[in-house]
Chains A and B, each alone.
Chain A
Amino acid sequence: MRMTIAIAIFAATLLALPANAHDPSKHKGKPTEGEVASVSGDRLELKTASGVIAVSLTSKTKIEHGADTVDKSHLKAGERIHVFGTKLPSGELVAKEIVITPSGGHDSSKHESHSGKKNKQSK
């Protein structure tokens, strides 16, 4: 019995190791939140609390609407979105992931859990 428990603990430890590995998906960064002002091809204008910024999409950009992964046709003017991505020095935001807030308003609890991290990491 003790041997079984020891093996189980050892196996559980091994299974837990990948969670501690350096996984880039774990550091998506802080999202930029705003309302889509306009969409044109692979670019959109996003109205944020600090002004309008340009957001560009790439072939790797993932778009989520609720629990579904959708294509860019779901991005429409007036939609509220959270954008995870990389800001270029020009101010343009290159989107890695866009989360369309389900209609009915801002779901801050989902937003917090989705970001999965606080800003400061000491890793």
Chain B
Amino acid sequence: MSRTVTSVVVALAVLVVVVGAALGTIALRGFSAREEPGAVETFVALRLRNLAMPPEARNRDNPLATTELAVAEGRDHFADHCAVCHANDGSGRTQINAGMYPPAPDMRTQRTQELTDGQIFYVIKNGVRFTGMPGWGGEDEENWKLVLFIRHLPKIMPKEIDLMREINQLEIHEEETGDHHSR
């Protein structure tokens, strides 16, 4: 048997095993969106997302200065469009997110805050495939204000959350706030 044929057979065998494992997992676990993504899936998905992001997008700096007004405008925009999934405080504790797979992250934590401004901007503008995050498109200036506000989330004040609630009437979802929301 030639070397090429052997390689093809091995590749096919690996493919069969991978597809079989995937189908087996689906058959055993079902497709409930209320499941918690596993550690391997999370690890692989996050790396694939970052790999798929163009380097020039990753390295973009926010052209806007962090002013009180720019952060507040980002806050109002976030309240209007993002908080329904991400919650006013960015924690992801919302009714929708309780059933999302993968869940929207707690944006106050390192996983989001360690992203570059360019990466956050890219995700807002383009979304993330196979998740609930849509690509909003929109005007760059508005999206950069959202980046400013997301950077501000770890130190958001109760007064600011009250102002967001005036816009969207959203309360923090207190039920089912287990592991699914602590990511």
Q: Which residues from chain A sit less than 8 Å from chain B, CB to CB?
A: 21-24, 27, 29-30, 86-89, 94, 119-123
Q: Separation in Å of the B67 CB from the closest CB of chain A?
A: 10
Q: A27-B80, A120-B169, A123-B81 in contact; A86/B139 too (CB < 8 A)?
A: no
Q: Quick check: A89 and B138 within 8 Å, CB to CB?
A: no
Q: Quick check: B166 and A30 within 8 Å, CB to CB?
A: yes
Q: Cβ of A121: which chain B residues have Cβ within 8 Å of it?
A: 80-81, 84, 168
Q: Which of B43-51, B111-119, B157-165, B172-180 contacts A (4 or more CB under 8 A)?
A: B157-165
* Residue B77 CB within 8 A of the other chain: yes
Q: Quick check: B72 and A119 within 8 Å, CB to CB?
A: no
- Which among A24, A119, A123 is the interface contact of B169 at CB below 8 angstroms? A119
Q: Quick check: A22 and B80 within 8 Å, CB to CB?
A: no
* Residue B56 CB within 8 A of the other chain: no
Q: How far is the CA of A122 from the CA of B80 in the complex (A)?
A: 8
Q: Separation in Å of the B163 CB from the closest CB of chain A?
A: 5
Q: Cβ of A122: which chain B residues have Cβ within 8 Å of it?
A: 84
Q: Cβ of B168: which chain A residues have Cβ within 8 Å of it?
A: 119-121
Q: Quick check: B136 and A89 within 8 Å, CB to CB?
A: no
Q: Separation in Å of the A62 CB from the closest CB of chain B?
A: 15
* Residue B27 CB within 8 A of the other chain: no
Q: A29-B167, A121-B81 in contact; A89/B160 too (CB < 8 A)?
A: yes
* Residue B41 CB within 8 A of the other chain: no
Q: Cβ of B68: which chain A residues have Cβ within 8 Å of it?
A: 88-89
Q: How far is the CA of A27 from the CA of B69 in the complex (A)?
A: 17
Q: Which residues from chain B sit less than 8 Å from chain A, CB to CB?
A: 68-69, 72-73, 75-77, 80-81, 84, 136-139, 142, 157, 159-160, 163, 166-170
Q: Cβ of B76: which chain A residues have Cβ within 8 Å of it?
A: 29, 86
Q: Cβ of B77: which chain A residues have Cβ within 8 Å of it?
A: 24, 27
Q: Quick check: B72 and A87 within 8 Å, CB to CB?
A: yes
Query: 16 new A-B pairs (CB below 8 Å) besides A24-B138, A94-B72?
Result: A21-B137, A22-B137, A22-B139, A23-B138, A27-B77, A29-B76, A29-B167, A30-B166, A86-B69, A86-B72, A89-B68, A89-B160, A89-B163, A119-B167, A121-B84, A123-B80
Q: Quick check: B138 and A22 within 8 Å, CB to CB?
A: yes
Q: How far is the CA of A30 from the CA of B157 in the complex (A)?
A: 21
Q: A21-B137, A24-B77 in contact; A88/B169 too (CB < 8 A)?
A: no
Residue of A nearest to B170 (CB): A120
Q: Quick check: A30 and B142 within 8 Å, CB to CB?
A: no
Q: Separation in Å of the A26 CB from the closest CB of chain B?
A: 9
- Which among B69, B136, B142, B166 is the interface contact of A88 at CB below 8 angstroms? B69
Q: How far is the CA of A41 from the CA of B136 in the complex (A)?
A: 38
Q: How far is the CA of A74 from the CA of B175 in the complex (A)?
A: 51
Q: Cβ of A23: which chain B residues have Cβ within 8 Å of it?
A: 138
